[in-house]
Amino acid sequence: MGSVKVQCLVAVLVAMVLVADGAVSCNSVFSYLGPCVPYLRGGGKVPTACCGGIKSVNGMAKTTPDRRAVCGCLKQAVAGISGINYSLAQGLPKACGVSIPYTLSPSTDCSKIK
Ligand SMILES: *[C@@H]1O[C@H](CO)[C@@H](O)[C@H](O)[C@H]1NC(C)=O
């Protein structure tokens, strides 16, 4: 598998994040969650970079529309990454000491978030 390709993709995502201003973009949520993927698949110790990412994502959710947008991105991420263990995903914010008022699952109803 091409890790060079992955690195290019990450670089592109980071560039997009730098360009995006203000409004929540799923690309930035995805890039923050990148370090979490091995944990979400296999468990073990939560990577420090993953918790940092979760905290950053949580920090983007300041208003109701932002929280709904972040929720939609998280839902998309959880649904889009193959092999994710949903029980690990649901426990992840807590493992990082972050409280997110909904569960990370593909069936989360983001429109109910206030
Ligand atoms: C998900 O992770 C939990 C906790 O590590 C584990 O007990 C469970 O077997 C895992 N489930 C799957 C489907 O891998």
Domain boundaries, the chain: 2-112
Mean pLDDT, rounded, of the chain: 85
pLDDT of residue 17: 47
Flag whether pLDDT at 66 surpasses 90: yes
Residues within 6 Å of ligand 1 by CB = 43, 85, 87-88
- For ligand 1, the distance from its centroid to the CA atom of residue 37, given in whole angstroms, is 14
Say yes or no to pLDDT of 62 above 80.
yes
Ligand 1 nearest atom to the CA of residue 85, by list position:
1
Which superfamily is assigned to 2-112 in CATH? Plant lipid-transfer and hydrophobic proteins (1.10.110.10)
Closest CA to 72 of 39, 114, 105, 33: 105
Predicted local confidence at residue 106, as pLDDT: 86
**What distance in Å separates the CA atoms of residue 42 and residue 51, rounded to the nearest whole number?**
16
Say if residue 91 is exposed, middle or buried (CB neighbours under 10 Å; 0-12, 13-18, 19+): middle
Tell whether the model's pLDDT for residue 58 goes beyond 90.
Answer: yes
Q: For position 105, what pLDDT does the model report?
A: 86
- Ligand 1 center to 87 CA (angstroms): 7
What is the C-alpha separation between 36 and 51, in angstroms, rounded?
A: 8
